[in-house]
Amino acid sequence: MSFINYASREINCKIVYYGPGLCGKTTNLQYVYQKTAADAKGKMISLATETERTLFFDFLPLALGEIRGFKTRFHLYTVPGQVFYDASRKLILKGVDGVVFVADSQEERYDANIESLDNLRFNLAEQGYDLDKIPYIVQYNKRDLPNAMSVEEMRVDLNPTGVPEFEACAATGEGVFETLKAVAKLILIDLKRG
C-alpha cells in the first residue's frame, strides 16, 4: 500500500524480495546499494545473524526522482528465506506494493523454490493480497552456476502465469537493475490505474 503525501509531495512504495534461503535476495539489495549514487539512497539496514543470514529483514530506501512534481521513493525489503522464519516473513509482506520472487537456479534448490513460492502466495492471501493481481516479477538467479537448470524448465512451476521474468547473477549484478526497474514500473502503472 503506497503512501501519497500531498504535503511533502512524495509517494512511497514498498517492494519485497521473496524467495528460498540463500537464493540471493540480500545480494540483490547489496548490489543496488553499491551501484546507486549516494544522493539517491539511504542507509542499508540488515537485521542478520552472526553468520550473515537474514534474521528479520534487509531494508534499502531509494529515491528515484520526480514524476509530475512528486518525489518517488521505493523502500526495498527482503524477507528471511529460511523456512522457520515464516512468522517474520508474514510481517514484512504487510503493505507491500510489489513483489520480486528470487528463484535459485540450482537444480538441488528447485523444491525449495516451489515451497517458497507456495508460501508467498499463502502469506499474501493471509494479508488480503492475490499474487496474480499485484505487481510481481520473477528473477532466475545464479545463472552463472554450472548446475543451473534451464529457464524453460524452471518456468513451468515458477512462472506459470507468465509474469515478467529476468535471468540474473546477483553477485555480479547481472539482471539486478533490470528486475528492480521492471517491478518499479509495474507498481507505477498500477498506481496510475488507481
Partner 1 sequence: MASPQMVMYDEEFRQINIVIEKLLREANAKVIFLVDKNGQLISGVGEVERFDTTSLASLTAGNIAATGGLAKLIGEKEFSILFHEGEKDNLHISIVGGRVILVVLFDNRSSLGLVRLRVKKASDELTIIFDGLMQKAEEKEKSGTTDFPFAEITDDDIDNLFS
Chain contacts with partner 1 (rule: CB under 8 A) = 1-8, 11-12, 14, 42-43, 45, 47, 56-57, 59, 61, 64-65, 67-70, 72, 75, 87-88, 90-92, 94-95, 127-129, 181, 184-185, 188-189, 191-192, 194
> Which residue, 87 or 156, is less far from partner 1 as judged by CB?
87
Separation of alpha carbons 23 and 116, rounded Å: 11
In Å, how far are 41, 95, 161 from 123, measured between CA atoms?
29, 12, 18
- CA-wise closest residue to 131 among 122, 121, 123: 121
CB of 61 to partner 1, least distance (A): 5
- Write down the number of H helices and E strands in the chain: 5, 8
Pick 112 or 184: Cβ nearer partner 1:
184
**3 state SS of 52:** coil
Instruction: Between 35 and 145, name the residue whose CB sits nearer to partner 1.
Output: 35
Q: How far is the CB of 71 from partner 1 (least distance, A)?
A: 11
The least CB distance from residue 78 to partner 1, in Å, is 12
Amino acid at the residue 89: R
Least distance to partner 1, CB of residue 122, Å = 14
Q: Where is 190: in which H helix or E strand?
A: helix 176-193
